[in-house]
Amino acid sequence: MKIKILGTAAAEGWPGIFCECSVCQKARKLGGKNIRTRSSILIGKEHKIDFPPDTYLHLVKYNISFSRIKYLFITHAHYDHYNPSDLLMRRFPPFTRTPLPSLKIYGNSLAQRWTFDLLKIMERNFEKNFPLYNFEFQVVEPFKEFRAGNLRILPLLANHDKSQICYNYLFSTSHWSFLQAFDTGWYPEETWEKLKEIASQKAFDLVIMDCTNGKIETGKKGGHLGIKEIIEMKKKLTSQGNIKNNSRFIATHFSHGGGLLHQELEKILLPEGIEVAFDGMEINLPER
C-alpha cells in the first residue's frame, strides 16, 4: 500500500501566503523540499486524509484522480484541513460531466455542519439537488472503530482545539497499521490508555506526526508539537510498545514560525530516528 504525503505545511503554507519573514524568503529562494502546501495524505487510491484549500493543486501536481477517492477522513474543522466549498464541484451536471462513485466523508459534528451550511449558502436549491453530489457524511465517535473499504479505522482523540472534537486516525489491515497524528499536542490520557491497549496487539508500521512548532517549546499544554515534544512522544510510544526499531516515524505539518528549513530539521531529527516529511513523499507499507 502506497502512502503519499501530499502536503506538509501548517495553516499559512510555507512560504506563508502573506509573509515576508526571513524564513519564508529563504524557502522561496531555496525551493524544493522547503516549499510546503497544506497538509493531506493519500492512502492507496481510495482513502484520503483531510481536504485542504490546496487539494486542487495536489491533484494536478501528482496526477491524482479525485473521482477514485471513495473515503475522506477529516481530522477537524479548521479551514486549512477542511475546505468543503470544493465539494460543490461534485455536482453532476454541470461541474462534472461524468457520474461519480459515492464519496463517504468521516469527521466530527462541526465538520458536518460546515459542509451542509456552506453548500446551502452556495447553492440555493441544495436540498433538492443534493443527490447530484453523491456523497454522505458520517459523524464518528472517539475510540469506536469502523471500516471503510478494506481498511479498519480507529478515531483517536487529539489535543488540538478544545472547542471541538479533534481526531487523529489509526488505519490498519491484517498486514500493517499507520497512525496519522498531525494537528495534536501531547495526547490526552484517554488516548494514551487506548494506545497502550493497542500496543499489546501490534506495533505501528508507520507514524506521521505533528511538528508544527519546530524549535519553539510549548510543553504538554499546546495544541501542536515542536521538536522537543515530538521526540518525547516517540520515546513514550516506544516505551509502551507502540513502535519498534523497524517502525518508520515521520514528522510533518511544519510552520514557518518554527524557524527551521528542511535540512535544518533533518539535522536535528534524523539522529532521533525521525524522518522529515516533504510534499510528495511516498512510503510503501507491506501488503503481505
Q: Which three cell numbers stand for residue 194?
A: 487506548
109-166 pLDDT tens trace: 999 999 999 999 999 899 999 999 999 999 999 999 999 999 999 999 999 999 999 9
Residue 67 and residue 157: Cα distance in Å, rounded? 30
Residue 202 and residue 174: Cα distance in Å, rounded? 10
pLDDT > 70? residue 187: yes
Query: Which residue bears the cell 484541513?
Result: 81
Residue 276 and residue 8: Cα distance in Å, rounded? 10
Kindly state the DSSP code that residue 37 receives in the 8-state scheme: P
Residue 101 and residue 167: Cα distance in Å, rounded? 26
Is residue 221 very low, low, confident or very high in pLDDT (cuts 50, 70, 90)?
A: confident
pLDDT for the residue numbered 218: 85
Phi, then psi, of 242 in degrees rounded to 5: -75, -25
Residue 252 has a CB neighbour count (10 Å cut-off) of: 27
CATH class of 2-284: alpha beta
CA torsion angle for 166, 71, 54, 27 (degrees, to 10)?
70
pTM score = 0.97
pLDDT for the residue numbered 6: 98
* Side-chain-facing half-sphere of 10: CA atoms under 13 Å: 21
41-95 pLDDT tens trace: 999 999 999 999 999 999 999 999 999 999 999 999 999 999 999 999 999 999 9
Residue 122 has a CB neighbour count (10 Å cut-off) of: 12
Residue 103 and residue 267: Cα distance in Å, rounded? 41
Give me the helix-helix angle, 262-269 and 227-239, nearest 10°.
40
CB 253 within 8 A of CB 183: yes
Residue 288 and residue 286: Cα distance in Å, rounded? 6
> 3-state class of 218 per DSSP?
coil
pLDDT for the residue numbered 288: 67
- CA Rg value for the chain: 19
Is residue 19 very low, low, confident or very high in pLDDT (cuts 50, 70, 90)?
A: very high
pLDDT for the residue numbered 287: 79
- Amino acid sitting at position 116: F
pLDDT for the residue numbered 124: 87
Cα distances from 278 to residues 1, 111, 217, 236, 254, in angstroms, run 19, 27, 22, 25, 10
Alpha carbon 75 to chain centroid distance? Answer: 7
**% of the chain surpassing 70 pLDDT:** 100
